[in-house]
Every structure is written in structure tokens, then in C-alpha cells.
Chain A
Amino acid sequence: GVATSLRNNTLGTLFKEMYFSHDPISTIPGAQWDRPYIQQLIKSDFENISLILEPPEGQDLGVWKYEHLRQFCLQLNDLAVILQVDCFPDVCTQMTATEQWIFLCAAHKTPKECPALDYTRHTLDGAASLLNSNKYFPSRIICNLTANLNRYSTWSRNFYRLHYMHTYHFHKSICNPLVKYQFDHENIRCFKFSFTCRHELYAKYDHQSLD
């Protein structure tokens, strides 16, 4: 009927109307309702981060984090594309997060000193292959919470570095126009989300020392 057709973007749907719906969770069809649900929350109010992050009642926390990480990755790819305009391998020769620390790219058999842009790409690729790995995530519905929570933290640390730290510290120029003009406001959410995730996963000591 009409209610479900809103989720399908038929030919000719305008960008601003895409994926636009306010369905309650119960009406989202299929077992994998988390993802459309999260996207719906973002669409309706991307600034309401606490609402977006709030797991629905009875939701498995592992699955919830997994879906959020996937969504986060997805949006981070947009940033990587924009970063290419400003972050050149010969300028940002290393992954620097703050002035003092340089990081090793962990996406290789033996960690390498990849330039910041490569680091970004490798980390995103690595995350994509991890999140789609059959071995670790055989099902999107049931996640082995414990087995993979440990991996979440590794990747979110890397994301945080490249996304929040590197962009924020070294590409302020791109960061601001990006938020204001070039890209739609959703990316603010990205920053905020990254920040919040970080905050949730790692408590305050960490932050004070890093910021």
C-alpha cells in the first residue's frame, strides 16, 4: 500500500524527498528495521543526537552499535571525498591527529606510516570489510556482542582520529565551508556523533589528554 511505498524511492523522486518517512518502528517492514529507522531519525532531525543514539526498547545493544557504525561509516565516506580536495599526500604526509602525535595505519599486515588521506581511505576500507565480514558478522540481526565490541572500539578510535582530530585540526578551512555550504547539515551530525561516540566509549581522562 501507500504506507510502505514511501520507503521505496520510485523513479523520479526528488533528492529532498528521498527516504522520507516518519514510520513508527513497528511498521517498518522486515527484520532489518534498524537501519531505515536510524536513517529516518537522522532525516527528521539530525541535530537531535541523543534521540538518534537512543536504542529502542528491547533492542540488542550490539546490533544497535553495529548499525550505527555502519551508518557512520557510510557518511564518513562523504567526508573522505571532500577531504581529497584539501588533504594531499605530499602535504599531510602522515596521519597526525594533534600537533604531537603521528599514527600508524593499522589496515596493513604490518602497520605503515600512511599519509593522512591514505590512512583515511585504508581505515574506511578496513572498516567496510570488517563490518561486512561473514566471519565476524554472519548476521545483521544477531550480533555476537562481546566478540565484536572489542573491534568496535579499535575502529571507532581510528575514525575519531581521522575524522574528528585530523579534519578538525588540519583542515579547518574545509571543515567550516563544508558544514555551511558545500554539504548539507547532516555532516554536523557526523562531527557531533563522532564526538559523542567517543565520549561514550572512552571516559573523560582520555579526552582531557587528547584535546
Chain B
Amino acid sequence: IRGIPKLRELLKRQKGEADNALDGVPDVEFTYADAQSIQDEMAELYSYTEEEEFVRSKEAYSREFPFITSWQGLSENEKKACLNQLINKIDSIEDAVRIPAIHALLYLAQGAFEAGMSEDKLLKQSRENVFLMYSCGGLHLIIQLLNLESENPNSAIIIMQKPSISIVDSDVLRAYLNILYIMVETMRYDDPTDSEFMMEQREAFIFELSQPVYDECLHIILFEMVVKFCAGNCPYFPIKKILLLLWKTVLVTLGGTKEIDKVKRQARLDAGLPEAFDERVPDENGRAMTSNGASSNNQDDGTDDIDDSEFKAATRKPRPRPKVRQKDIDLFLDATRSKFVGFQISGDDSTLAGLPHPIHEGLHVMKKHIYTSLGEYQLNAEEEALERPFTAMKFQSKNEVCESLYKSLLPNIPQYMISLLKILLASSPTAKAKTDSINVLVDVLPEEMPTTVLDSMRLGIDVNRHKEIIVKAISGLILLLLKHFKNNHIYQFEFISQNLVCGNCIPLILKFLNQNISSYISTKNFIPQLDFPACVLNKKSEVTAETLENNGSEICCWRNMFSCINLLRILQKLTKWKHSRTMMLIVFKSAPILKRSLKVKHEMMELYVLKLLKAQTKYLGRNWRKSNMKTMSAVYQKVRHRLNDDWAFGNDMDARPWDLQAEEGSLKTCIDRFNNIHYGSGNTGEEIMNEYDEYDVNIHSVLDSSVELSEDFKNAYEKWLEREVFSAPIEWEQLCSCSFKR
């Protein structure tokens, strides 16, 4: 009898454990993608404060074309004519002509909504209009006008004198940004019903978007706007829309996950590396791995039986195949050589003389799992180019769009990154509303503050939603840039990451994660009936306190989940293989923060948290590992293994001193050298080359150079003439001998 409660308790315990076991079925319904569906992305473009403006642009359109009863009823040529008329007016200097035309154009880009129209139809109409607008030359023109408006000093002066800045101050800018965003977002995806002509148009659009308009491309115009906003020169800029457009522009021109993978595979092939790491485990190896794994698990804990049984039950998903770096093989060989042979041979992993047979076998297994990343290859190539400046292959990017973006970003990358981080900080949910920091809410605050409780509630939701969208855009943007530049060239990636690290990105992300993540990913900051296009298509339903409170069930908020995963991935990218940055994770006490975010049951998010934890377990000490066995086994189970890795038992607490300044300094030297050689002018690379400059044998250079004649020569030049010129026969006729044939 006494045994029963004990047993029950055990069962209960076991059950409870299983329920929140780390390897349990993911609870959060979320599929990571480059972005949400176009409908959701479009809805996030507008804040709820902008509600009345939809009607206003519709009215502007009706005033422009009073005789058109139904836009849908027009023929394509008629539509084109209308668009041309609007575009013509947009060229006008006078605000009274230009601004109504812009609003009317926005209405058409939105799909020429009418009450009672279905959402699908609206989307289709919007797509059609966007293609028409593009074919009328709308893209180029609006980018130019956006640039003009953002550099307009008059409006800045007028607005800065106002006592308070609100959404109305960015009216025209917002209209331009809205139109551009709708265009970019529409062109981002291909519709299966697209005609061949439309597919061509899409390609042309994406090409044109990556090209400069005069001397700057849209990316740079937008980045400059972000910087200006952060510097406080233009606080009225609608920052959310700018960031959204920037993110989407980068996404469309450089490509999303699929393209990144494709580019990476191609780049690896070009570098002579295998296309990808072969994840399949050979049969005999597979068996070896499991037995090996179980034994090390026993050796690790040996205290808790439940842990072990759980582990055995959860062999659902095969773990990724282990990898090993060349560096680790070298370290291993160094260690064994000094142990068995007594001296070291650097840079040689094939000489096995004097090593016992088991070591040969170990090395054989390691070599089977060797993985050379593109980055390692590029670093080596860069080193080689320095040693052999004449014969080594110079870095030549195949990804033109990426390369030209880097070139144009390069001069101001530090400012760009700092500005993004500043805005990220100001939009964090944990951020205190400091008066002196930048105000990211200008493009959501109405001209007059709400008076009723309901309206304030509504505004509150709007403000939170606004901030969440900003975080989403920034995190998406930074991650995209990091991934693309990493494929293009490792030092480009390092340059961006170093600037991020210098901008305190690591503590910033940790601070962001140091909140109740579970509640952050399930916030309900949205009011479905106010979202576009519901707010213009449906009959206006009263927004009541109840509708504000009861929207949606326990679903995950896509944008917040997306932002969290992005931020974790950024953090991981910044710290990977960087000792001192990993130590920063320790210094800022990231482990408890990361561990807490494991409460969110989502496979992908979990994986990145575990990766970050694995990188630092070595330094967290034995005690931490002992008391966090569950996390340890999750790491063991989910994260890829590195052969010869001592993450689970290393005791490196003080073994490796770390000097952040020095490490970052030497990295910076390498980056600067890379930037100088490839993008600098009058740079160090050329200085080396100058010594070996070819002799100038061009006849023009001879005529160009001034010759100092000596006094002796001047005195005796008549004799010289006599001897060298007059007495030498010159056949001048030969010059004219190339006769003109009729």
C-alpha cells in the first residue's frame, strides 16, 4: 500500500516530465518563411490610424476621373491612359496637381477597392494595376520623387517648428512609400496565372530595382533615410514603412532562403568544394554513432535514470551528421604527435609516421566528416592572394547584385548598422519610453490624442503592433544581409557583423530576449476588422472593447515568432567560432535567458537556442552542466555534433584567456585590408604593385613629359641639328603613302 502513492508519484513525475520534455512535439504552430502571405504583409503596412486615408485616396481618384463609373470595367488601354495621366501629373511641380494624383495612384495600386468586393478580387486588381503602373514607367519616377521629398529641406524646417509631430506630417512621403511597397511586395511573388509577358515584366522589375536611379539605388536612398531619422534631422519620417520597404527591396533584389541556398551551392562548386555537406550517414558509421552516443550519455550524468529512458524513447528524427573542421583535425594531430612522437609538423595531416594504429583509424573517421565552409576557403584564398599578389586568383564575385550592394553600402556601413540597432532598441517591448531617445511612433500617432478609453485602447494596440512590425523588419533585414554577404565573401560578412557587435548588438538581442518570450510570441496586437483590406471592403463594424479583447485564440503571432527566430539566428551568426564573442555571451549571462526561451516549443527556435547554449557550455562550468542535464541532453540530441568537441566535458574556465579588444582588432585589420585591396582607391594593395609597375612605353607619355634641356645642349644645338636631323635622310612621303582609294 505504501508503494502505490510512491509509484503514482513516480508516474506522475514521469508524465509531467514528458509533457514539458524538451523533445516534446512542438506546440507552436509556426512555419518559418521569408515573409508572410501577401495579404498579411500588406495589412501590416498600414497603421490603424491611417484608416481614414483610404477613403481620402478613393475620393482623390474620383475627382481625377469623375466620368469613370467602374475601374474594373475599363479596357487595358483605357486603364493605361488613366495611369499615364496620373503619372504625368505627378511630374508636376505644383503640389495642388501632384499630391491628389499621388493619392489617386495609391488608390489604384491598392486595387481600386469598392465596398463589397471580395479580397481575392481586390488582390488581383491590385496586381494588375501594379503591372500596368510599372509598364508606364511608374517605378523610376516614384523612387525619384521619394528621394526628392526626403531631401526637401523646406518641409523639414516647417515640420520641425511645429510643437508636436504626428502622422499627418509624413503624408506625401507615406503615399510614395506605400505605392513603392505595394509594387515591390506584389512583384515579390509569382502567381501561377501570370502570363509570359508578366513574368518578363517581373524579371525586368527586379533587375531595375537593383539598378541605381541616377547614382543611388533604392536601398541606399532608404538607408540614408534611416540614418537621417536616427540623427534626429527628420523625425517625421515614417520609419516603419521605410524599414519595411528596405527589407522587402533587399529580399526581392537579393532573394530569399531559396536563392541563398542556390547561390551558396553554386559558390561552393565554383570554389571546388563539394556542393553541400553530405548529410547521409553511411551504414556502418550510423551504428557506430548510436552506440557511441549512448555510452557518452551514461558517462555524462549517471545520476538520473529518467533522463536516459526518455532519450531512448525519443529517437524520432535522425540527428544531422557530424562535421569536423580542418582546424580541429590539426589540433588533434598536434596533440597526438606531441604525445607519441614528441614533435609537431604544422600543416600536414597525412604523415602518420610513429602514430599507433588506433590514431590512424580516428583520423580516418575524422577525414570522412571533414567539412570546409565557404568562409574558410575564402579566408585561405585571401591569404594566398596576399602572398602571391601576381599569380593568385583575385576574388571575383559572381553575384553582381550582392556585390554592387556591398560596394554602395561600404562607405557608411557603420552608420547604417548603428541606426538599425538604435531603432531596434527603441522598438523593443522592454524599452523604456525615454524622452531623449528616438521616437519611432511618429507615423502612428494621430494629430489629436484620443479622448475616449476605447480610442486609447485602440491606439495602444496600434502602437504595440507598430513596434512589433519594426522589429520584424529590422531583424529580417539584418539576417538577410548577413546571410547574403556570408555567401558572397566572408570578410563582407565579418565587416557587417563587426559593426553590429561594436554597436552592442549582442547585449541588445539578449535584452530583447530577456522578457517573457512565450507571451511575446502570442501577443494579440491586432484588430482584424481594421486591417486592410477588411476595413475598406466590409461594412464598418463598431470597434468595441470586446472586439479589442477577444480577437483570436491562443495562436502564435507570426511576426513576433519570426523576429525572435531571426534575432537568435543573428546572435548565433555573430558569435559562431568567435571565442571572445562567445565569452560575451557568458559575461552578459545569456544562459538563463536562453534557457528560459526554451519554453517556447518550436523546433527551429529551440535549435538556435540550443546552438547558442552549446557554444558556451564549456565555459559555464561543471556545476552548471550538472544542474542542467535536460538542456544538455536536448543539445546532445538536436544540435549537430562536432567530432572531438569537448562541449560536454571541457573545463576551459580560465584556460583560454580572452581579449575582446585584441581579437576584434586583428579581425578589423584583416577586414580593412580586404576592403582596401578590393574597394579602396590609392590603397595599400596598389602600393605594393607600384614597385612592379610596367615601364610606360606609350608614345603619348613621351610627348607629354617635359624635358629639361641642359645649357650645353642649348649652346651646341645647331651642331646637333646638323648631325642628327639634317644629315639623316627622312622620307616624309612615306607618311602620305596610305593613299585614299576611290
Chain A positions near chain B (C-beta within 8 angstroms)? 10, 94, 100-104, 106, 108-111, 113, 135, 144-151, 153-154, 157, 201-206, 209-210
Give the residue name and chain of the A residue nearest to B201 (CB): A146
Neighbour of B134 across the interface among A94, A150, A205, CB < 8 A: A150
* Residues of B contacting A101 in the complex (Cβ-Cβ under 8 angstroms): 89, 92, 94, 97
CA distance A119 to B140 in the complex (A): 18
Do A205 and B82 have beta carbons less than 8 Å apart?
yes
- CB B552 to nearest CB in A, in angstroms, measures 42
Q: Mark B624-636, 1 if CB is under 8 A from A, else 0.
A: 0000000000000
Which residue in B77, B91, B137 is a CB contact (below 8 Å) of A151?
B137
Instruction: Given contacts A103-B92, A146-B200, list 14 more A-B pairs with CB under 8 A.
Output: A109-B215, A110-B147, A113-B93, A146-B197, A147-B200, A147-B203, A147-B204, A150-B136, A153-B135, A157-B137, A203-B81, A205-B85, A206-B81, A206-B85
In the complex, which of the residues B204, B211, B742 has the most CB atoms of chain A within 10 Å of its own CB atom?
A: B204
In the complex, which residues of chain B have a beta carbon less than 8 angstroms from the beta carbon of A210? 85, 88
Complex alpha-carbon distance, A202 and B88, angstroms: 11
Contact residues, B81-102 vs A (CB, 8 A): 81-82, 84-85, 87-89, 91-94, 97
Contacts of A204 in B (CB 8 A): 81
Across the interface, which residues of A come within 8 angstroms of B81, CB to CB? 202-206
Sample of 20 A–B contacts (CB below 8 Å): A94-B93, A101-B89, A102-B92, A103-B91, A103-B92, A104-B91, A106-B141, A109-B147, A110-B148, A111-B148, A135-B211, A144-B204, A146-B197, A150-B135, A150-B139, A154-B140, A203-B78, A203-B80, A204-B81, A209-B85
Cβ contact within 8 Å between B94 and A202: no
- A104 in contact with B93 given A154-B137, A202-B80, A204-B81 (CB within 8 Å): yes
Q: Are A202 and B84 in contact (CB under 8 A)?
A: yes
A110-B151 in contact given A101-B97, A205-B78 (Cβ < 8 Å): yes
Q: Which residue of B lies closest to A155 (CB)?
A: B137
Pick the most buried of A94, A153, A204: most chain B CB atoms within 10 A of its CB: A153
With A110-B147, A113-B93, A205-B78 as given contacts, are A157 and B88 in contact (CB-CB < 8 Å)? yes
A102 and B94 within 8 A (CB) = yes
Q: A10-B742, A153-B135, A157-B137 are in contact. Are A111 and B88 (CB under 8 A)?
A: no
Min distance, Cβ A192 to any Cβ of chain B, angstroms: 20
B-chain residues with CB within 8 Å of residue A94 when the two chains form the complex: 93
Closest Cβ of chain B to A112, distance in Å, is 9
Cα–Cα distance between A4 and B561 once the two chains are bound (Å): 72
Report yes or no: A146 in contact with B204, Cβ–Cβ below 8 A.
yes
Chain A residue contacts of B137, Cβ below 8 A = 150-151, 153-154, 157
Decide if B208 touches A109 in the complex (CB within 8 Å): no
B464 touches A (CB below 8 Å) = no
Whether A110 pairs with B134 at a CB distance below 8 angstroms is no
B726 contacts across to A, CB distance below 8 A: none
Give complex CA distance A65, B139 in Å: 21
**Cβ contacts under 8 Å, B94 to chain A:** 101-102
Bound complex: CA of A151 vs CA of B140, how far in Å? 8
CB neighbours (8 Å) of B214 from chain A are 108-109
**3 closest Cβ pairs, A-B complex:** A154-B137, A147-B204, A203-B81
A36 to B471, CA, bound (A): 59
CA A209 to CA B197, docked complex, whole Å: 30
The verdict on B207 contacting chain A, using a C-beta distance below 8 Å, is: yes
Contacts of A102 in B (CB 8 A): 92-94
Q: Mark each residue of chain B from 130 to 163: 1 if its CB lies under 8 Å from any CB of chain A, else 0.
A: 0000111101110011011001000000000000
* Residue ID in chain B nearest A157 by CB atoms: B88
Instruction: Return the chain A residue nearest B200 by Cβ.
Output: A146
With A10-B742, A149-B135, A153-B135 as contacts: A106 and B91 at CB distance below 8 Å = yes
Instruction: Give the distance to chain A from B210, nearest Cβ to Cβ, in Å.
Output: 11
Chain A neighbourhood of B85, CB < 8 A: 202, 205-206, 209-210
Q: Is the CB of B136 within 8 A of A153?
A: yes
How far, in Å, is A163 (CB) from chain B's closest CB? 15
Contacts of A149 in B (CB 8 A): 135
Tell whether, in the assembled complex, residue A103 and residue B204 are in contact, meaning their CB atoms are under 8 Å apart. Answer: no
Say if the beta carbon of B646 comes within 8 Å of chain A.
no
Interface 1/0 per residue, B64-84 and A, CB below 8 Å: 000000000000011011101
Interface centre among B82, B84, B197 (most CB of A within 10 A): B84
Question: Cβ of B216 < 8 Å from any Cβ of A?
Answer: yes
- For residue A199, give the distance in angstroms from its CB to the closest CB of chain B: 11
- Which B residues lie within 8 Å of A154 (CB)? 137, 140-141
| A-chain residues with CB within 8 Å of residue B208 when the two chains form the complex | 147, 150
Give complex CA distance A82, B201 in Å: 39
Docked-complex contact B97 and A106, CB < 8 angstroms: no
> A103 vs B742: C-alpha distance in the bound complex, in angstroms?
52
A109-B216, A113-B93 are known contacts. Are A206 and B144 too (CB-CB below 8 A)? no
For the complex, give the distance between the alpha carbons of A127 and B167 in Å.
38
Tell me, rounded to whole Å, the shortest Cβ–Cβ distance linking B199 to chain A.
9
When distances are taken between beta carbons in the complex, the residues of chain B under 8 Å from A144 are 204
Instruction: Give the CA-CA distance A101 to B211 in the complex, in Å.
Output: 30
Candidate in A102, A147, A148 with the most chain B CB atoms within 10 angstroms:
A147
A110 surroundings in chain B (CB, below 8 A): 144, 147-148, 151
Q: Which residues on B sit within 8 Å (CB–CB) of A146?
A: 197, 200-201, 203-204
Give CA–CA (A111, B97) in the complex, Å: 16
Contacts of B203 in A (CB 8 A): 146-147
Q: Which residues does chain B contribute within 8 Å of A111, judged by CB atoms?
A: 91, 144-145, 148
